[in-house]
Amino acid sequence: MDLKNKRVVVLGMGRTGIATAKFLGSKKAQVVVTDEKSVNAWGEGFKSIAREKWLQVANYGAEILDGASMVVPSPGVPPHNALLIEAQKRNIQIVGEIELAYSFLNAPLIAVTGTNGKTTTTTLVGQILKQANKKIFIGGNIGIPLIEYAQRLPQADFVVAEISSFQLQWVEKFHPFISVLLNMTNDHTDYHGSFAEYVRIKTKIFAEQTAKDITIINADDPAQRELIEKIRSKVVAFSSKRELREGIFVKGDQIIFKMQGFAEEMYPLKMIKLPGWHNVENVMAAVVAARFCDADRQSIKSCVSNFYGLSHRIEFVGEKK
């Protein structure tokens, strides 16, 4: 993607918007930034680019679209935003931050989405791969925006990213090596308009995958059962409720991973310190992703056994005797 001398409008000056502006500036674009909030409310991060020659700060209005070849909205900007609607009327290309970042990545991408469990699963996948001596970047909707990685491009074996439905709104060619769809419940309808639209946006995570890629889905999620026929990549299902012919599932006190190309593997349920069956599902999805990235079984067991959760979420603290 050649951005040199293109006039690109960035909507929203939170952390992702500022990182996007920096990235575009590094690619010699003419960057126009704006936000519904006043400049004084844009935060400390904006000061790092405020005096750049490639940057123009504009008032929040339709005139900023004049001469623009692209608009990059921050994830929190809803699709019914008046400037985005105007951009579509003018046939100006709208590109999401993760779409922009993806086009410059130098390592296979593992993308994790779902209504719940994204952060836990993304973090666990990254930690397992690190335990297996892989060079990893972890970010996206948590921590460092994907666009920041795309600007620096440090050496990595895999990029592991949490991806929200907001981020998937404006993607067309986004193509992870492994996509993970944990679950889908009626959420963010104020942003997307309806649950059906929310589901449509979530499925963009695997829309551009091919037969060489992997899609990990939840066999127990009613919203996902109708999606399988639309998936072109290799589908691997997980289930905490029933035995599967192929995939990963709970049987008794064991997690069974049964997949063509792998010897059948067993992992003890008791290795999981996170409470709740939803976290068993998160772990199963992480195990599958890690195995397809050549993480060894011992690294998986060791990492999961020592993973007690994230701060500000439900954590294991001990057992009452």
Q: What is the DSSP letter of 113?
A: E
Instruction: Write down the domain spans for the chain.
Output: 7-95, 99-305
The residue with tokens 């460092």 is 144
pLDDT at 112 over 50: yes
Average pLDDT estimate for 4-15? 96
pLDDT at site 311:
65
- pTM listed for this prediction: 0.92
Sheet with 30-34: strands ordered across = 55-57, 30-34, 7-11, 70-73, 93-94
CATH number of 7-95: 3.40.50.720
Q: Band the pLDDT of 179: cuts 50, 70, 90.
A: very high
Average pLDDT estimate for 272-280? 94
Average pLDDT estimate for 180-197? 88
Q: Band the pLDDT of 316: cuts 50, 70, 90.
A: very low
Q: Band the pLDDT of 312: cuts 50, 70, 90.
A: low
Which CATH number among 3.50.50.60, 3.90.550.10, 3.40.50.300, 3.40.1190.10 corresponds to the domain 99-305? 3.40.1190.10
pLDDT at 41 over 90: no
Mean pLDDT of the chain: 93
Q: Band the pLDDT of 192: cuts 50, 70, 90.
A: confident
pLDDT at 113 over 80: yes
Both structure tokens of 297: 């079984």
pLDDT at site 315:
44
Give the whole-number percent of the chain exceeding pLDDT 70. Answer: 97
pLDDT at 321 over 60: no
Which H or E run includes 201? helix 195-202
Average pLDDT estimate for 167-172? 95
Average pLDDT estimate for 257-268? 93
Contacts of 119 (CB under 8 A, 6+ apart): 141, 142, 162, 310, 313
Sheet with 247-251: strands ordered across = 136-140, 158-162, 109-113, 178-181, 214-218, 234-239, 247-251, 254-258, 265-268
Do the beta carbons of residue 140 and residue 179 sit within 8 Å? Answer: no
pLDDT at site 314:
46
pLDDT at 34 over 90: yes
